[in-house]
Structure 1
Amino acid sequence: MTAAPLIEARALTREFVLRRSWVPGSGQTLRAVDRVDLAVHKGETLGLVGESGSGKSTLGRCLTRLIETTDGAVVFDGQDVTRLGTRGLRPFRRSVQMIFQDPSSSLNPRRRVGDILSEPLAIHSIHPAREIPGRLRELMDLVGLPAAALDRFPHEFSGGQRQRIGIARALAMEPRLIVADEPVSALDVSVQAQVVNLFADLRERLSLTYLFIAHDLGVVRQVSTRVAIMYLGSVMETGGTDTIFDAPAHPYTEALLSAIPVPVADPAARRRRIILKGEIPNAANPPKGCKFVTRCPYAQDLCRAERPALRPLADGRLVACHFPPS
């Protein structure tokens, strides 16, 4: 893609202090996001994949400025929003919204749905007061819920319906980008399919851009146009969905994809199962070189000594590996 990204992380870093100390060098810091470069282009769905603890959710919250970054920059539509104050962030807050994994904890249980959805409209003066009731009914229609739902409390709905309310809350701001953090992992499989289809429908109808964070590779392949793979706070590989799923270039991506279940009736679709050996590094004390070196079956001396940078391959993908397939 030649167009400038809608949002971009540039050497983005987020650290958490695990243990403080007055003695220099004796404290302990966890780098949850480690110098990440990542771009999301207008109109696409970028699937962000990785094991639990890889830093996916932390990266999503840094991109939306829900948590502050330690270093690096978040650039939205050409503007660095990393250091903006409250007033300067208001347009950004309207344009970038987040959908959380558990709607039960992200929706205020003491407020009716109509109040939850109308509050951001009033705060940001998006619509005149007389138009807000009509806008609320429109939001309910967009996510497939009846207008009568506006008078009910979140606990009166099923999990899938609550997630639809969470989606409606994000849409209320008329955003350009939505960061969806594991939006279907807490739902039943049958409900997952309905919500995934809703995401696809809304993307077409409203010209939305998504950063879709998930660990379910089947869902990621269904919804994403591009995929980024994270491991211990770093991006290992990015590229087109079909390119990565059909021919992974990074050993970690290869191992992840080998674990995808396939139908018994389709033995041709099976991959060679890769069982990773070695120890998972301590996230607070990662290896000096490649973070995957302790589990990589192809590791060499260079991998232990030097961290690989994300490098482009001939097919356009980026891979952080010293010895990717030629």
Structure 2
Amino acid sequence: MSAFPVSSPEQGGAPLLSVRALRKTYSLPRGQTLKAVDGISLDVLPGEVLGLVGESGCGKSTLGRCLLRLTDVSSGQITFEGQDITHLGERALRPLRQRMQMVFQDSYASLNPRRRIGDLLAEPLRVHPSPDGRKRPAAAITARLHELMDLVSLPATALDRYPHEFSGGQRQRINIARALALSPRLVVADEPVSALDVSVQAQIVNLFADLQAQLGLTYVFVAHDLAVVRQISTRVAVMYLGAVVELGETDDVLHHPAHPYTAALTQAVPRPVVGAPRHPPLRGDIPSPVARPSGCRFHTRCPMVQDRCRVEDPALHTVRPGHEVACHFPLAAD
């Protein structure tokens, strides 16, 4: 892949999005509780691309939905643009929807197959007023639709067609256009390329990067493919069993992982340099979030496990400037 350069986050400014001790639990039969998001705290800076990575079932998508309040949270706090949105009702959230949008994984299921693309893209422009509080005139909506088609490199004739007439990559471009219709500041992309062919993945990742640099967007980019995350993200948060176990600048985390789980994940990324450091492979399956192991949540699969790991849950702590890890015995930088 060859991506456009992504913009650097604004230095020294307040976070665009902050979460503190965020939890999302689900009640199950027989009194069981599923901890999908288990006490996550992190900041997203204006203009950055924060990658969320981890195995399937680790809570990445649930966290992404919680950030935009598409899913109610069980406890904790979410702050967007300095405003606490944790418990806002739908009516109070509605004006904020213009500034925070989502691109979903399934490009076909997220589009109404009975409506033309132009109608789908025009809907948010009709529902939400213009910045001056007035209803948008039809001519302004039409002009914006043509702008959106240009942004995602689709012809204007696409507006008169239906979702089934497009390829998966084209439908994802349409979903991106819909997310950008109201000029948001924050976009959460929930595994937007996982269902696409590799060559198409590269095109969509390049499109995301180009739009981010062109429009100054802030992304939370959810993925399980470290190669994709490495391509677009400025920082990366590695999730395991509902929690962030490593957080830092992308190159530092992926080239010098401090957590054994991150180190194992990096083995799946093709290494162009012969003799690059290797780490013990990841064995076993991720435990059920219904029955999380005591102590460190990773100790049942960790090749470096010690007695302390089985009884004491490690908190995120700084191992290098800008690099945090939740591990009692972090790996030394190579």
Residue 216 of structure 1: CA displacement?
Answer: 0.9
Residue 278 of structure 1: CA displacement?
Answer: 5.3
TM-score with structure 2 setting the length = 0.92
Task: Say which of 73, 91, 94 aligns to 2:95.
Answer: 91
Task: Give the corresponding residue for 1:221.
Answer: 230
Q: Does 1:125 align with 2:156?
A: no
Task: Give the corresponding residue for 1:42.
Answer: 46
Cα 1:306–1:2, aligned 2, differ >3 Å: closer, same or farther? farther
Task: Give the corresponding residue for 2:110.
Answer: 106
Task: Give the corresponding residue for 2:219.
Answer: 210
In 1, the alpha carbon distance for the partners of 2:285 and 2:192 equals 30
Q: Give the secondary-structure state (helix, strand or coil) at the position aligned to 2:252.
A: helix
In 1, the alpha carbon distance for the partners of 2:248 and 2:119 equals 41
Q: Where do residues 131-210 of structure 1 align in structure 2 (5 Å cutoff)?
A: 131-210=140-219
Task: Say which of 75, 79, 88 aligns to 1:75.
Answer: 79
Task: Give the corresponding residue for 1:23.
Answer: none
Deviation per CA, 1:200-222: give whole Å up to 9, x if none. Answer: 11011111000000011111101
In 1, the alpha carbon distance for the partners of 2:291 and 2:72 equals 22
Deviation per CA, 1:270-296: give whole Å up to 9, x if none. Answer: 442522345632210111211001111
Residue 129 of structure 1: CA displacement?
Answer: 3.0
In 2, the alpha carbon distance for the partners of 1:113 and 1:173 equals 16
CA contact (8 A) 1:140 1:147 kept: yes
Task: Give the corresponding residue for 2:282.
Answer: 276
Residue 49 of structure 1: CA displacement?
Answer: 0.3
CA contact (8 A) 1:259 1:274 kept: no
CA contact (8 A) 1:160 1:187 kept: yes
Deviation per CA, 1:94-139: give whole Å up to 9, x if none. Answer: 1110001111100000000000011110100233333100000110
Task: Say which of 252, 258, 279 aligns to 2:267.
Answer: 258
Deviation per CA, 1:205-247: give whole Å up to 9, x if none. Answer: 1110000000111111010000000000000000001111111
Task: Give the corresponding residue for 2:133.
Answer: none
In 2, the alpha carbon distance for the partners of 1:322 and 1:216 equals 26
CA contact (8 A) 2:263 2:279 kept: no
Q: Give the secondary-structure state (helix, strand or coil) at the position aligned to 1:110.
A: coil
Q: Give the secondary-structure state (helix, strand or coil) at the position aligned to 1:105.
A: coil
CA contact (8 A) 2:280 2:303 kept: no
CA contact (8 A) 2:121 2:181 kept: yes
In 2, the alpha carbon distance for the partners of 1:18 and 1:48 equals 26
CA contact (8 A) 2:257 2:331 kept: no
In 1, the alpha carbon distance for the partners of 2:70 and 2:253 equals 30
Q: Does 1:245 align with 2:249?
A: no
Task: Give the corresponding residue for 1:287.
Answer: 293
CA contact (8 A) 2:260 2:331 kept: no
Task: Say which of 12, 16, 26 aligns to 1:6.
Answer: 16
CA contact (8 A) 1:237 1:250 kept: yes
Task: Give the corresponding residue for 1:267.
Answer: 274
Q: What is the identity percentage for the equivalent residue pairs of Structure 1 and Structure 2?
A: 62
Deviation per CA, 1:36-83: give whole Å up to 9, x if none. Answer: 112111000011000000000000000011111011111101111011
CA contact (8 A) 1:259 1:273 kept: no
Q: Give the secondary-structure state (helix, strand or coil) at the position aligned to 1:15.
A: strand
Mean CA deviation greater in 309-318 or 231-240: 309-318
In 1, the alpha carbon distance for the partners of 2:148 and 2:166 equals 16
Cα 1:192–1:279, aligned 2, differ >3 Å: closer, same or farther? closer
TM-score with structure 1 setting the length = 0.94
CA contact (8 A) 1:226 1:240 kept: yes
